[in-house]
């Protein structure tokens, strides 16, 4: 059977690409990525005040497609426009709250903490993403020859500064000191994994402060990330990234949240953390480590199975 053709629309940020690509793979689409660029005048306007017009965004060169998967504010108008102006029936799926009439989309996938309801809404526990359990397991050996095979491992995944969280040297050093202390007193080896949002100065700081007890990955390396998830006995993730916390929940391993003081109201992230706490997935990082179990969370596969039933 010929695969359906999909186009993925994002602003080019890694977290968005992870979500649209994860869903496209789970739906078994033949897909291409397209980075949305809003024309200068319309950059200042939210989608609800923007016309459904080609003049809003730079033309997206695509010929044949059946499904549109979009994520992020700038991709809302292009998705609606391309669906309305296609000569055939198109399924368009938006990830996150589009902040426009929900009927503009065939389906919307949004985390429970967004509070969206409707006949075309799929609510998820956390963010959908591009990782699979098989992919994590298959990359287990990637870091082994760089690690002490006589120890168990504690992985720390670093995000980056956001409007809610300040990655100041003082804030990050508190996390590093706590992490290093836990590694030492539990006779573990640490693995430090940066993300695309992690500032270079924070990666350098982690090398300076943690390298005696930890393997510090100083570049963006997906295989290292997958291997660190697979090998870890414990996982810690900085509080700024719901995406990476959701990805870690695919392992079924204890996940600790490394807190950073807020500089702006982060009510959505708090709701996300409250849900994951109730599901027994996360605990706050403090001065002790423990092991617990929870049901592995794979929302991408769950939602994709439901959408597949409805695709023509």
Query: Is residue 10 predicted with pLDDT exceeding 90?
Result: yes
> What's the whole-model pTM score?
0.91
Q: What whole-number percentage of the chain has pLDDT above 70?
A: 99
Burial 144-175 (b: 16+ CB within 10 A, else e): eeebeeeeebbbbbbbbbbebbbbeeebbeeb
Average pLDDT, the chain: 94
Domain assignment of residue 85, given as a range: 5-125+301-310
Looking at the fold, whether 146 and 116 belong to one and the same domain comes out as: no
Quick check: is 113 in a domain?
Answer: yes
Residue-level pLDDT at 77: 97
Looking at the fold, whether 237 and 262 belong to one and the same domain comes out as: yes
> Which are the contacts of 284, defined by CB distance < 8 A and separation ≥ 6?
256, 257, 259
pLDDT 10s digits, 34-48:
999 999 899 989 999
Cα end-to-end distance, the chain, whole Å:
13
**HEC per residue, the chain:** CCCCEEEEEECCCHHHHHHHHHHHHHCCCEEEEEECCECHHHHHCCHHHCCCCHHHECCCCCCCCCEEEEECHHHHHHHHHHHHCCCCCCEEEEECCCCCCHHHCCEEEEEHHHCCCCCCEEEECCCCCCCCHHHHHHCHHHHHHHCCCCCEEEEEECCCCCCCECCCHHHHHHHHHHHHHHHHHCCEEEEEECCCCCCHHHHHHHHHHHCCCEEECCCCCHHHHHHHHHHCCEEEEECCCHHHHHHHCCCCCCEEEECCCECCCCHHHHHHHHHHHHCCCEEECCCCCCCCCCCCCCHHHHHHHHHHHHCC
Looking at the fold, whether 154 and 17 belong to one and the same domain comes out as: no
pLDDT 10s digits, 62-115:
889 999 999 999 999 999 999 999 999 999 999 999 999 999 999 999 998 888
Quick check: is 290 in a domain?
Answer: no
Contact 112, 85 (CB under 8 A): no
Query: Is residue 306 predicted with pLDDT exceeding 70?
Result: yes
Quick check: is 155 in a domain?
Answer: yes
Number of domains in the chain: 2
Residue-level pLDDT at 62: 87
CATH number at residue 189: 3.40.50.2000
Looking at the fold, whether 199 and 75 belong to one and the same domain comes out as: no
Laid out side by side, the sheet with 5-10 consists of 30-35, 5-10, 67-71, 91-95, 107-111, 121-124
Average pLDDT for 215-240? 97
Quick check: is 216 in a domain?
Answer: yes
Average pLDDT for 281-295? 96
Residue 243 φ/ψ, nearest 5 degrees: -65, -50
Looking at the fold, whether 175 and 48 belong to one and the same domain comes out as: no
Quick check: is 294 in a domain?
Answer: no
Residue-level pLDDT at 115: 85
Dist CA 306 CA 296 (whole Å): 18
Looking at the fold, whether 98 and 151 belong to one and the same domain comes out as: no
Query: Is residue 266 predicted with pLDDT exceeding 90?
Result: no
- Closest by CA to 166, choosing from 210, 199, 190, is 199
Looking at the fold, whether 175 and 62 belong to one and the same domain comes out as: no
Looking at the fold, whether 273 and 305 belong to one and the same domain comes out as: no
Residue 302 structure tokens: 């769950």
Contact 226, 142 (CB under 8 A): yes
Looking at the fold, whether 55 and 10 belong to one and the same domain comes out as: yes
pLDDT 10s digits, 161-214:
888 898 999 999 999 999 999 999 999 999 999 999 999 999 999 999 999 999
Query: Is residue 312 predicted with pLDDT exceeding 80?
Result: no
Looking at the fold, whether 146 and 270 belong to one and the same domain comes out as: yes
Looking at the fold, whether 67 and 41 belong to one and the same domain comes out as: yes
13 — pLDDT class (breaks 50, 70, 90): confident
Residue-level pLDDT at 14: 84
CATH number at residue 9: 3.40.50
Query: Is residue 1 predicted with pLDDT exceeding 80?
Result: no
Looking at the fold, whether 139 and 253 belong to one and the same domain comes out as: yes
Query: Is residue 265 predicted with pLDDT exceeding 80?
Result: no
Dist CA 112 CA 132 (whole Å): 21
147 — pLDDT class (breaks 50, 70, 90): very high
Residue-level pLDDT at 129: 94
Q: Give the count of alpha carbons within 13 A of 16, CB side only.
A: 22
């Amino acid at each position: 059977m010929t695969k359906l053709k999909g186009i993925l629309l994002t602003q080019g940020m890694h977290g968005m690409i992870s979500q649209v690509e994860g869903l496209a793979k789970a739906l078994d689409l033949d897909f291409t990525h397209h980075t949305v660029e809003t024309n200068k005048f319309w950059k200042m306007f939210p989608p609800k005040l923007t016309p459904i017009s080609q003049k809003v965004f730079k033309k997206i060169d695509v010929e044949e497609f059946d499904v549109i998967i979009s994520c992020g504010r700038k991709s809302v108008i292009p998705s609606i426009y391309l669906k309305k102006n296609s000569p055939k029936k198109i399924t368009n799926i938006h990830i996150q709250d589009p902040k426009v009439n929900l009927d503009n989309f065939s389906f919307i996938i949004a985390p429970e903490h967004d509070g969206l309801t409707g006949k075309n809404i799929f609510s998820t526990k956390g963010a959908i993403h591009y990782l699979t359990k098989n992919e994590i397991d298959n990359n287990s050996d990637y870091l082994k020859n760089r690690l002490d095979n006589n120890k168990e491992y504690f992985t720390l995944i670093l995000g980056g500064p956001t409007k809610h969280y300040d990655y100041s040297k003082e804030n990050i050093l508190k996390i590093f000191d706590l992490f290093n202390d836990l590694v030492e007193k539990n006779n573990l080896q640490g693995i430090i994994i940066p993300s695309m949002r992690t500032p270079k100065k924070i990666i350098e700081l982690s090398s300076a402060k943690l390298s005696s007890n930890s393997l510090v990955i100083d570049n963006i390396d997906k295989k290292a990330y997958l291997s660190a998830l697979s090998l870890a006995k414990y996982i810690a993730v900085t509080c700024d990234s719901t995406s990476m916390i959701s990805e870690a929940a695919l392992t079924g391993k204890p996940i600790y949240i490394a807190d950073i003081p807020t500089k702006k109201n982060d009510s959505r992230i708090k709701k996300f953390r409250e849900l994951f706490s109730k599901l027994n997935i996360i605990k706050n990082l403090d001065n002790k480590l423990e092991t617990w179990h929870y049901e592995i969370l794979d929302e991408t596969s769950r939602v994709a199975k439901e959408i597949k039933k409805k695709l023509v």
